[in-house]
Amino acid sequence: MPERNRVLSRRAFVGRVLVFGGAGAALLGACSPPAPAAPSKPAETKPVESKPAAPAEAAKPVETKPAAPAQAGKAARLDMILFDGGWTPSLKIMLDAYKAEQGVEVVWDNPPLSGFYQKQLSLMLAKERKPDIISSNDTILSQYAGSGLIEPLDEMLANKSLAGDDYAWDEFAEQTRKAASWSKELGQQGQVYGLPFELATWGYFYRTDLIDRPPETFDEYVEISKKFTRSLNPSSPTPFGATAHAKQLPPQYKEWYAWMWSYGGELFDEKLNPTFNSDRAVTSLADFYGLLLNHKAMPPDTATYSDTEKSAAFQNEVVPHVMHWAHQASVYLDKEKSPKIADKVKYTMVPGMKGADGKLTRVPYAQQWMLGVNPNSQNKPEAFKFIAWLTSPKGMRAWVEAGWNSPPRPSALNDAGFKAKHPSFAITEEAIKIGRYGPGYLKEYAQIADSKLLPALSQVMAGSQTPKQALDSVADEAREILKSADY
């Protein structure tokens, strides 16, 4: 990226984060599979509950050191912050394994998603030495890196005594590596700031007893949705034909992006001019939300739906198909979690659109989570050693064997045994080749998306603004934000 990517001052960064009131905390609301049934919800088994008092914790690992000289200077305890998510059960297993193997206790602070971002941000801005290990995603990494809130990892990544002989950074897909990198001058071709542990892409799920062939295009998706809406077709076996994440959280715009990009729309042009309101972007939003506003093909309370309610509608036979994160296959194909549909669900990539040449363009949304190092930690090498151990080829395989269903490493996604156990791997493996992340090179992107785009989409969903009016407003506000940042 050109040098117009000016680093935000610490005060400006804080102000901009607070503008969207922690809505960024939901940026990964979809990255951990939303459990539709209580048993699959990890929050009830928070590792934090088992965290002993600090004095006892400090003494405990010391007793397990095999030899004092060999352990000299080695941290007996590391602290990590990462919100409670779909990774919780399997990650707990990996933390126990690391303690047994390395004699190092990793104490996990896992606040709920709703308060995670603000809590981590406040610790980083206060230059607290704990936690040693912090977390980031592809959307906010540029904000953290541009404000000095996360440690660059290149030197430690090149140190085999820390990263291990077989870390294989180049194994990650190019998009994955770019989303973990940033610099003021080079954008996403810059330094590495996070080691990826989660990769999520969109998938399309449908009932095989109702839909013979999955739609290739969004035009076909609309027609299927109308066909299975009882108010439009009295013989429909389902009351409604479609649903969506319409609650004012980031998955709302991420679902729309799959439509917008397939229609040929873009958020910014090559000169960073906002193009939210291009004809193609407006048409894609009108078609998407038209399913509710014009065709009444979505439940009337769709505006209150998060990913959880959207899933429940599919699981309870309210709708015949749904677009969701690919790893949701582990829920939909589980007879205990989805007893009504588990034996009649298939999945593929999201629909797309055909161009004038007849070529089909599909653009699944992709996102990733990463672990990084607190720049104020007194245990940077040990913190890096842990996250490298966890995200290495060997560590990732062990994590998948422990139950993790969203690994970013191709060697795990391509494994035949893992694919048999985790059906979503086949979708993710293909989707990442053609999928797209949000514009993470732009520090102001999260502010624009969360504080401007989300309210605008909600106004369209409520019928108070047309897609054109709402997106015109977003484009104007985005232009002012970038202008104030001296782009």
Spell out the domains of the chain, with CATH numbers in brackets. 22-62+72-199+367-434 (3.40.190.10), 202-364+441-484 (3.40.190.10)
> How far apart, in whole angstroms, are the C-alpha atoms of residue 102 and residue 311?
40
Is the link from the previous residue into 111 a cis peptide, with omega within 30 of 0? no
Structure letter (DSSP) for residue 194: -
One-letter amino acid at 70 equals A
Task: Answer for the pair 196, 370: CB distance below 8 angstroms, yes or no.
Answer: yes
Measuring CA to CA, which residue among 249, 242, 246, 254 is closest to residue 313? Answer: 242
Tokens, residue 216:
């290739």
Task: Give the residue from 425, 430, 208 showing the smallest Cα distance to 326.
Answer: 425
Instruction: Report the greatest alpha carbon distance in the chain.
Output: 78
- Separation CA 193–CA 180 (nearest Å): 6
How far from 132 is each of 47, 142, 271, 486, CA to CA, in Å? 17, 20, 38, 34
Question: Under DSSP, is residue 18 helix (H, G, I), strand (E, B) or coil?
Answer: helix
Q: Can you tell me the distance from the alpha carbon of 99 to that of 162, in angstroms, rounded to the nearest whole number?
A: 16
- pLDDT at residue 191, as a whole number: 94
pLDDT of residue 486: 83
Q: Under a CB-based contact definition with an 8 Å cutoff, are residues 201 and 366 in contact?
A: yes
299: left (phi over 0), alpha (psi -120 to 50) or beta: beta
The confidence score (pLDDT) of residue 144 equals 92
Confidence at residue 347, expressed as pLDDT on a 0 to 100 scale = 92
- The helix (H) or strand (E) run that includes residue 106 is strand 105-109
Query: How many Å apart are CA 113 and CA 95, to the nearest integer?
Result: 20
pLDDT of residue 330: 87
pLDDT of residue 140: 86
Q: How far apart are CA 459 and CA 254, in angstroms?
A: 17
Q: 118, 123, 143, 113: which is closest to 22 by C-alpha?
A: 118
pLDDT in tens, the chain (487 residues): 333 333 344 444 444 443 333 434 333 333 333 333 333 333 333 333 333 333 333 333 333 333 333 333 477 899 999 999 889 999 999 999 999 999 999 999 999 887 898 899 999 999 999 999 999 998 889 889 989 999 999 999 999 999 999 999 999 999 899 999 998 777 778 999 999 999 999 899 999 999 999 999 999 999 999 999 999 999 999 999 999 999 888 889 999 999 999 999 999 999 999 999 999 999 999 999 999 999 999 999 999 998 889 999 999 999 999 999 988 998 999 999 999 999 999 999 999 999 999 999 999 999 999 999 999 999 999 999 999 999 999 999 999 999 999 999 999 999 999 999 998 898 888 888 899 998 888 888 888 998 999 999 999 999 999 999 999 999 999 999 999 988 7
Tokens of 391: 């995200």
